[in-house]
Amino acid sequence: MWKFSLNNAKNCKQLRAFYASDAKTATATTTAAQPTIIQMGTTTADVSTAKPPPATPLILPKMPAIPKSLETPSSVQTEKSVCPFDNVPGPQSLKVISQLWSYVPALSTEFTAGTLFQAMNLGKFFGNLLSWGGNAKFFQKFFNVYGPVVRLHGPFGGDVLLLSRPEHASIVFQSEGAQPVRACLDSVEKYRLQHRRLRQAGPFLMSGPEWEKIHETLEKPLFNSPMQHFKTIDLICDQFVERVFSVRNLQDEMPKTFKNDILKWCLECVCSVTLKRKLGFMDPTGLSPNSDPGQILEGVIGATEAIRKCEYGFHIWKFVETPAWRSLVKNCDLIDSILGKYVERAQSTLREKKDIKSMEDISIIESLLLKDDILVEDVMTVMLDMLLIGANATAHSISFLLYHLSKAPRCQKKLYDEIMKQSKEITMNSLQNQPYLQACIKESMRLNPPIPILNRVLAKDAVIHKYFIPKGTYVLIAVHLASLREEYFEDAKTFRPERWLSQEISPLAQELQVFASMPFGHGPKSCQAKELAQMEIGLLINKLLKKFYIEYNYGELESSNSLLATPTKPLNFRFVDRV
């Protein structure tokens, strides 16, 4: 028997060595600070003179058994063609800790070591302490070691299944039913349900009949919004082009803050569609910090960064108020306070309208307010979701499309030629008659999806890769990795829009194309505003390429590949006037 003192684990390296399966390796690595080992029957006074026991393998407490509800049914266990859930490969508890160590932001060595050690013994208690929704490159390491289906189980709570192949994703999505369950953004959920004490967590987080009700209400207005709001978005794109002219330097380069200019354009588009009014994000004189759009911009940037910090790594904010949690509350409260004014105005407008002949006469927010069973607080969560998630996703997509075009001059020239063949005035029809533009948008989103990791709770028992997977298993699908597989896309890491216009995609990829590239998700929980986003992106690219040749001279641009993904470097694009 043994006893381990955490105070003697002076650094991560020593602790990892102590947990190594080869005790000799641990002894050699921790010579400078050997953990105190006390044998049964040895008094405290004898510790200093007692000889250290011979090196023996570390024996850990037995982990809790899998609940009966998750055990493989006997009918499946006896089926020779299907392996039981227990056989799904993946790292064991101590291996998980060792491999994840560099991905867990340490508050301090002793605190992190202590938490992980306790988690080994109290797996269920710490079940929600860690997030598995991290960087896509992190997932690739698991797939490289364990294969296409990986099960994470042990110290951090319930089972998590990692997938990256389109055929496996198709099984998950095809079995999810009309009301799929998506579990993510715990910090936003806590903010709404516990801090604001709302009845629902919002459409992005909700499930069940309440989600379906809001989903159905939004479906038609969002589907019709590209045509209905085309002229307004066209004017906002013109303002963006003028912004490019005004902020570029003598070398025709954009400032390091150009990412915020793209976000302003996205926020103006969102507000124009949902509120049916422009708030002034693209004001040529700039934004006053105290103005409504200035405060919304500040709130969205601050809340987005706070969500990223809260969602990845230790979820300490679930137990104590961390700086990231306080920032999230502060910024979301700021956004809500401003949006509340516009929702009140929408209510007043509806009271003044005696006869609404068509839904096109009202905004999306007003259409929600007309529903008796949808509360004002539900409308607020819809708005906040569109600002935080929708605007960020569109900003990410336009940023990487500009980047890929700048790095592929041939593609940029081909797209420019297609655009110039159209009439001088851009219309909805002319956008729809630009197949190469649509191919460029698809290809850019394949390479850099705005939400690279999708998650679902398995709706029913399934067989994936000949493994039985029980209902209720939490599944993470690495969309970014699925769309880079060579068996589905030849030369997968290269920007080649032509692949979407020909038969270059392999027969297997054609069959599973919808699952090989899922930038907007899939199924009932897919993005309802995807047609609107594609229209906005296509219209802006038309405007920019007519005026400028685009370059990027700062090496490779990568995405953070996390939820609410963002470019990892400043967007110093060079916009050169076309002669």
- 215-232 per-position pLDDT tens digit: 888 888 888 888 889 999
pLDDT at 51 over 80: no
Rounded average pLDDT over 54-71 = 38
* Radius of gyration for the alpha carbons in the chain, expressed in angstroms and rounded: 27
User: How many residues make up the chain in this entry?
Assistant: 579
- pLDDT exceeds 70 at position 106: no
- Most confident stretch, 29-43, 251-265, 487-501: 251-265
For residue 158, the model assigns a pLDDT of 62
pLDDT of residue 512: 63
Q: Which helix (H) or strand (E) holds 160?
A: strand 157-163
Could you report the per-residue pLDDT of 516-557, keeping only the tens digit for each? 888 888 888 888 889 999 999 999 999 999 999 999 999 999
Residue of 476 and 563 predicted with greater confidence: 476
Q: 135 pLDDT exceeds 60?
A: no
d(CA 187, CA 310): 6
Q: What is the pLDDT of residue 511?
A: 63
> CB–CB of 530/387 below 8 Å?
no
Least confident range from 234-243, 358-367, 395-404: namely 358-367
Residue 105, pLDDT above cutoff 80 = no
Mean pLDDT of 402-422: 96
Q: DSSP states of 472-506 as a string?
A: T-EEEEEHHHHTT-TTTSTTTTS--GGGGTSS-S-
Backbone torsions φ then ψ of 531, nearest 5 degrees = -65, -40
CB 391 within 8 A of CB 564: no
- How far is residue 221's CA from residue 225's CA, in Å, rounded to a whole number? 6
pLDDT score, position 505? 55
More confident call, 57 vs 410: 410
What mean pLDDT is predicted for residues 72-92?
69
AA identity, residue 13: K
Strands 149-154 and 157-163, how do they pair?
antiparallel
Band of residue 510 on the pLDDT scale cut at 50, 70, 90: low
Of the two residues 500 and 573, the one the predictor is more confident about is: 573
What pLDDT, on a 0 to 100 scale, did the predictor assign at position 508?
56
Q: Quick one: pLDDT at residue 186?
A: 85
Separation between Cα atoms, residue 324 and residue 317, nearest integer Å: 8
Reported confidence tier of residue 172, pLDDT bands at 50, 70, 90: very high
Question: Does residue 63 have a pLDDT over 90?
Answer: no
Calpha distance 304→322 (Å, rounded): 16
Identify any residues that bridge with 313 across adjacent strands, giving them in sequence order: none
DSSP labels, 402-468: HHHHHH-HHHHHHHHHHHHHS-SS--HHHHHT-HHHHHHHHHHHHHS-SS-EEEEE--S-EEETTEE
- Higher-confidence residue of 89 and 160: namely 89
Q: How far apart are CA 185 and CA 200, in angstroms?
A: 14
Mean pLDDT score of the chain, rounded to an integer? 78
Mean pLDDT check: name the lowest of 234-243, 247-256, 452-461: 452-461
CA–CA dist 118, 231 (Å, integer): 59
Residue 83 is assigned to a ligand binding site: no
**Contact between 514 and 522 (Cβ < 8 Å):** yes
Q: pLDDT by residue (tens digit) across 358-391?
A: 666 788 888 888 888 788 888 899 899 999 999 9
Residue pair 543/240 in contact (Cβ under 8 Å)? The answer is yes
Share of the chain above pLDDT 70, in %: 73
Give me the mean pLDDT over the 29-52 stretch: 39
Phi-psi region of 555 (alpha: psi -120 to 50; beta: other; left: phi over 0): left
Residue with tokens 């570390």: 58
pLDDT digits (tens, 9 = 90+) for 434-481: 999 999 999 999 999 998 888 888 889 999 999 999 988 888 898 888
- Average pLDDT for 47-53: 42
Identify the burial level of 410 via C-beta atoms within 10 angstroms of its C-beta, where 0-12 means exposed, 13-18 middle and 19 or more buried: exposed
pLDDT tens digits, residue range 296-330? 999 999 999 999 888 876 778 888 999 999 999 99
Percentage of the residues of the chain whose pLDDT score is greater than 90: 40
- In this structure, what token pair is assigned to residue 551? 């370059």
